[in-house]
């Protein structure tokens, strides 16, 4: 049973604060285990990968053919797909590609009023590593959401790591890899795969950026390796916030809440509404739907431990402030005028406008990326984009006239900071 809160409760502020501050992510034990895995991968390379893959996936990396999945297998998986499913993947890929092509930044090159030439050039990284889960969450949609922006950015080498427990391969993941044009697929998972991509081994060349979802060990490995490589984000358990009035079908809202609860027992689903009777209806619908879900055991664990329903007096007046404190990964605005709330909410990974825009559409075919900040990180970070696979190099150029305008000030500031060599490099050029 979910937790029911009301802003009329005298202890609401304290209870909501506990909700905001609750952490559903890796503990220190995971951090220590990951540090040891990364240390061994860095020191022993492929030998460590063989040991960890045998231990965790019950799969032997013996001959070269055991390590990777060839492109021909990906093409065969694509051709073997049911036509409707293949069309759905192609539609998703096309929409994701179009949305991310519109994100490509423009180079700048101009001369300012002082005559100084200024600008910046955007370039892709050379290689990107994409982590694709293979356990509880083996999702071709995540592969498309990670690989396509990298390709749009211009990344030349895309290397995937994905666990294949007992040697089993998900054909949908292979088909998605074919659509996205992935270069390499390695049969390695967990923190050890992230370490291999970051450090490189005899078989697996290092990459510049690592993106993609994973379990607590994968997320912690990315956190520890940031700086060795770039990462998209440290992702935690999925979450959804639905802001809904009583004009909604409670079955729809219940299904939206469960769309995240079924991901993992640590996922969180929150409803904010201004109608207590509607809140109880949604709660009843959640209970009924959980009993009918193939993923009901996971959804039940999530809903009972982390599900929350909040009843407010004034939806438009109170919900935005609560939403900003939660800074949720997904925010649904199931109201008549979602635009009003959209512009009041500052912190959200992605916002879904209106009653006919369930978060699940965004997971697959809408176009915007579904790799989004969790754990209140939407306060300071954004979803995956082409910019995660690019870097900007600034440039500037001066001639005699423009140097005469700005050079003396640079020398003055250098002297003030106690850096005489800086000052002298400027002063020698002053005529």
Q: What is the DSSP string of 296-326?
A: HHHHHHHHHHH-EEEE-S-HHHHHHHHHHHH
Residue 26 predicted with pLDDT over 70: no
> Could you tell me the residue range of the domain that residue 191 belongs to?
28-112+123-231
Instruction: Indicate if 68 and 198 belong to the same structural domain.
Output: yes
Write down the number of H helices and E strands in the chain: 18, 14
383 part of a folded domain:
no
Instruction: Indicate if 71 and 177 belong to the same structural domain.
Output: yes
Residue 112: other Cβ atoms inside 10 A: 12
- The structure tokens listed for 162 are 């994905």
pLDDT per residue over 357-378, tens digit each?
A: 999 999 999 999 999 999 999 9
Of 362, 298, 304, 376, give the one whose Cα is nearest residue 333: 362
The answer to whether 135 touches 168, Cβ cutoff 8 Å, is: no
283 part of a folded domain:
yes
- Can you tell me the mean pLDDT for 414-426? 98
Instruction: Indicate if 166 and 262 belong to the same structural domain.
Output: no
Instruction: Indicate if 220 and 240 belong to the same structural domain.
Output: no
Instruction: Indicate if 170 and 85 belong to the same structural domain.
Output: yes
Residue 28 predicted with pLDDT over 90: no
pLDDT per residue over 164-190, tens digit each?
A: 999 998 999 999 999 999 999 999 999
- The structure tokens listed for 36 are 């040891």
DSSP label of 367: S
161 part of a folded domain:
yes
Instruction: Indicate if 142 and 280 belong to the same structural domain.
Output: no
Residue 142: phi and psi, rounded to 5, are -65, -35
Going by C-beta distance under 8 Å and a sequence separation of 6 or more, which residues neighbour residue 30?
216, 217, 220
Instruction: Indicate if 81 and 212 belong to the same structural domain.
Output: yes
Among the residue ranges 91-100, 136-145, 217-226, the one predicted with the least confidence is 136-145
Last-in-domain residue among 178, 211, 231: 231
Task: Between 23 and 69, name the one with better pLDDT.
Answer: 69
Strands of the sheet containing 117-124, edge to edge, are 108-111, 117-124, 390-397
β-pairing, 268-273 vs 308-311, is parallel
Measure the CA–CA gap between 315 and 338, rounded to whole angstroms: 11
**Global pTM?**
0.93
59 part of a folded domain:
yes
Instruction: Indicate if 108 and 185 belong to the same structural domain.
Output: yes
Among the residue ranges 47-61, 94-108, 137-151, 349-363, the one predicted with the least confidence is 137-151
β-sheet bridge partners, residue 128:
158, 209
Last-in-domain residue among 202, 231, 260: 231
The answer to whether 5 touches 311, Cβ cutoff 8 Å, is: yes
pLDDT per residue over 256-291, tens digit each?
A: 999 999 999 999 999 999 999 999 999 999 999 999
Whichever domain contains 150, its CATH number is 3.40.50.1980
299 part of a folded domain:
yes
Residue 414 predicted with pLDDT over 60: yes
- Looking at residue 22, what is its pLDDT? 86
173 part of a folded domain:
yes
255 part of a folded domain:
yes
- Can you tell me the mean pLDDT for 116-131? 98
The answer to whether 261 touches 307, Cβ cutoff 8 Å, is: yes
- Looking at residue 405, what is its pLDDT? 97
Residue 416 predicted with pLDDT over 70: yes
381 part of a folded domain:
no
- Indicate which residues carry an active-site annotation: 329-330
- The structure tokens listed for 42 are 């860095």
Going by C-beta distance under 8 Å and a sequence separation of 6 or more, which residues neighbour residue 413?
none
SS3 call for 214? coil
Instruction: Indicate if 161 and 281 belong to the same structural domain.
Output: no
Q: What is the mean pLDDT of the chain?
A: 95
Domains: count for the chain: 3
Percent of the chain with pLDDT over 70: 98
- Can you tell me the mean pLDDT for 95-124? 98
Residue 336 predicted with pLDDT over 60: yes
The answer to whether 108 touches 118, Cβ cutoff 8 Å, is: yes
H runs (alpha helix) in 45-115? 46-57, 64-67, 71-79, 83-101
Instruction: Indicate if 157 and 285 belong to the same structural domain.
Output: no
Q: Please, which pLDDT band fits residue 431 given cuts at 50, 70 and 90?
A: confident
Last-in-domain residue among 169, 199, 231: 231
Instruction: Indicate if 16 and 132 belong to the same structural domain.
Output: no
Instruction: Indicate if 144 and 267 belong to the same structural domain.
Output: no
């Amino acid at each position: 049973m979910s937790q029911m809160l009301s802003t009329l409760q005298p202890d609401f502020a304290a209870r909501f604060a506990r909700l905001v501050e609750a952490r559903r992510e890796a503990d220190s034990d995971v951090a220590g285990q990951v540090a040891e895995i990364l240390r061994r991968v860095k020191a022993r390379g492929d030998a460590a990968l063989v040991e960890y893959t045998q231990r965790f996936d019950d799969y032997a990396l013996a001959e070269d053919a055991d390590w990777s999945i060839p492109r021909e297998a990906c093409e065969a998986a694509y051709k073997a797909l049911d036509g409707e499913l293949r069309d759905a993947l192609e539609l998703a890929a096309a929409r994701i590609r179009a949305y991310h092509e519109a994100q490509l930044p423009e180079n700048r090159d101009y001369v300012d009023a002082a005559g100084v030439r200024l600008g910046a050039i955007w370039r892709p990284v050379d290689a990107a590593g994409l982590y694709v889960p293979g356990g509880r969450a083996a999702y071709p949609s995540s592969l498309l959401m990670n690989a396509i922006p990298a390709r749009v950015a211009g990344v030349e080498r895309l290397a995937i790591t994905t666990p294949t427990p007992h040697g089993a391969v998900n054909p949908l993941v292979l088909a998605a890899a074919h659509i996205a044009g992935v270069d390499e697929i390695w049969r390695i998972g967990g923190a050890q795969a992230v370490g291999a991509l970051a450090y490189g081994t005899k078989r697996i060349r290092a990459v510049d950026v690592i993106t993609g979802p994973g379990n607590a060990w994968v997320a912690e490995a990315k956190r520890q390796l940031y700086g060795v490589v770039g990462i998209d984000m440290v992702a935690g358990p999925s979450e959804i916030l639905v802001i809904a009035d009583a004009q909604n079908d409670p079955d729809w809202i219940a299904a939206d809440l469960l769309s995240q609860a079924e991901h993992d027992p640590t996922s969180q689903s929150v409803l904010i509404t201004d109608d207590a009777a509607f809140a109880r209806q949604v709660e009843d619908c959640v209970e009924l739907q959980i009993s009918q879900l193939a993923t009901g055991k996971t959804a039940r664990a999530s809903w009972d431990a982390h599900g929350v329903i909040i009843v407010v007096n004034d939806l438009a007046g109170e919900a935005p402030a609560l939403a900003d404190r939660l800074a949720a990964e997904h925010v649904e605005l199931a109201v008549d005028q979602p635009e009003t709330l959209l512009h009041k909410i500052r912190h959200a990974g992605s916002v879904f406008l209106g009653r006919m825009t369930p978060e699940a559409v965004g997971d697959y075919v809408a176009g915007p990326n579904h790799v989004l900040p969790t754990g209140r990180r939407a306060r300071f970070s954004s979803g995956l984009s082409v910019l995660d696979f690019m870097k900007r190099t600034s440039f500037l150029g001066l001639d005699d006239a423009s140097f005469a305008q700005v050079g003396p000030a640079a020398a003055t500031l250098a002297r003030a900071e106690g850096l005489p060599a800086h000052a002298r490099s400027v002063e020698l050029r002053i005529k």
